[in-house]
Amino acid sequence: MTATLPPQLARLIRQDVQGMHAYAVQPSAGLVKLDAMENPHRLPANLQQALGARLGAVALNRYPGERVDTLRAALKAYAQVPDGYDLMLGNGSDELISLLAMACDVPGASILAPLPGFVMYGMSAQLQGLKFVGVDLTPDFELDESAMLEAIATHQPSIIYLAYPNNPTANLWDDGVIERIVEAAPGLVVMDEAYQPFASRSYLDRLTRHPHVLLMRTLSKFGLAGVRLGYMVGPAALIAQVDKVRPPYNVSVLNCEAALFALEHADVFHQQAAELRRERALLLDRLDAMPGVRAWRSDANMILVRVPEAARSFEGMKARGVLVKNVSRMHPLLANCLRLTVGTTDENAQMLAALQASL
Ligand code: PMP
């Protein structure tokens, strides 16, 4: 709830900011939380304990120092960053999206992304005072190639975001269409691979074909949403420029140590991601068999479904202890759609039962 600002303060705050809604995190206490594409698995107890010991030994009195460079080097090796390319860190990829808008804020600059898509692309444009151009997907959630190419020609965007896979539709785009968009782009193209641990393809092996393409990833969906660590890979000279707008100590010593620990135990997270991909396949089978539900194929740890009445199903599921995301008001193409995060076997069973009972 926002209290009304007294006039002497209201004149200090931007009008458009006053008109905005704060990013809403749904209350989830006591509910099976399947609304935010988190990994439902915690670290195994022995690793959680080992991590506690590692974090306990971190000096908190110093600003983040060379451990951040160690983390960057570890991530460069982990993500197989090509020669001549570099990597910058963000406090989640959310921060990288904001920093990129800041760095590209030249007169007339705009940001373009398909819709429905991740809200931060539009928000970063608005907050930076850049124009945002949203291009609707086709009704089956594919890129509308001609509409994209036309919007690119008209608006000459400085940044095009392609979430690969997309949120909330969970699909990968057609690679031929991506290629033609990349070739037509007069500015940067960011391949946002937040859901890469669950995807059947990555853009990484095509990255060096085009010097204006950047790759963005996060450890959030991997299993470290609470840590807040995202990274962006691109040609070293370009990354060096964008890195200048990054607040100097944006990644805390605790984020840094936890991320280093996670990379040392990457196999555990890979096993969890594999388990979630198996759960996703089972969920899709069960959803396909549920009359009245349409479920789209997924390359992420979420499944978009259309139900007869999203508000009724959302509330009914919540009353039965399961929290999902009602995305039906995000965009007309998502009418009566819910976004379901893939959880543990038990959580998925509860979610399916709650959905079935709430249709
Ligand atoms: N990109 C996409 C497509 C996302 O869906 C999200 C989060 N839901 C992010 C980026 C941001 O992730 P984070 O800030 O947690 O790294």
Count of CB atoms situated within 10 Å of the CB of 77:
10
Between CA 143 and CA 155 the distance in angstroms is 17
Between CA 184 and CA 195 the distance in angstroms is 25
Which pLDDT belongs to residue 1? 52
Confidence of residue 222 (pLDDT cuts 50, 70, 90): confident
To 5 degrees, how large is the angle CA 114–CA 117–CA 121? 85
Give the C-alpha distances (Å, rounded to integers) separating 184 from 22, 71, 141, 155: 35, 35, 21, 12
Count of CB atoms situated within 10 Å of the CB of 236:
13
Which pLDDT belongs to residue 306? 98
Please tell me the distance between residue 199's alpha carbon and the centre of ligand 1 in angstroms. 15
> Is the shortest distance between the CB of 90 and ligand 1 below 6 Å?
no
Please tell me the distance between residue 225's alpha carbon and the centre of ligand 1 in angstroms. 9
Between CA 320 and CA 355 the distance in angstroms is 9
Residue 256 backbone dihedrals phi, psi, to 5 degrees? -65, -50
Which pLDDT belongs to residue 22? 86
- My answer on whether 233 and 322 are in the same domain is no
> Is the shortest distance between the CB of 118 and ligand 1 below 6 Å?
yes
In the predicted structure, residue 3 carries a pLDDT above the cut 80: no
- My answer on whether 83 and 124 are in the same domain is yes
> Is the shortest distance between the CB of 161 and ligand 1 below 6 Å?
no
> Is the shortest distance between the CB of 94 and ligand 1 below 6 Å?
yes
Which pLDDT belongs to residue 113? 98
- Strand pairing category for 213-218 and 188-192: parallel
Tell me which of 97, 120, 229 to substitute to probe ligand 1's pocket, judged by most ligand atoms within 8 Å of the beta carbon.
120
Please tell me the distance between residue 144's alpha carbon and the centre of ligand 1 in angstroms. 23
In the predicted structure, residue 2 carries a pLDDT above the cut 70: no
For residue 96, what is the enclosing H or E element? helix 93-103
Between CA 30 and CA 17 the distance in angstroms is 33
Provide the 3-class DSSP secondary structure of residue 215.
strand
Token code pair at residue 75: 């991530």
- pLDDT tens for 97-134 read 999 999 999 999 999 999 999 999 999 999 999 999 99
- pLDDT tens for 18-52 read 998 888 888 999 999 999 999 999 999 999 999 99
- pLDDT tens for 48-74 read 999 999 999 999 999 999 999 999 999
Domain-ending residue, one of 238, 264, 290: 264
In the predicted structure, residue 254 carries a pLDDT above the cut 90: yes
- My answer on whether 273 and 353 are in the same domain is yes
Token code pair at residue 13: 């705050």
To 5 degrees, how large is the angle CA 12–CA 16–CA 18? 60
- ipTM confidence: 0.98
**CATH label of the domain that carries residue 108:** 3.40.640.10
Count the domains in the chain.
2
Cα 306 off chain centre by: 21
Structural domain boundaries, residue 110: 63-264
- My answer on whether 78 and 103 are in the same domain is yes
- Global pTM? 0.96
In the predicted structure, residue 187 carries a pLDDT above the cut 70: yes
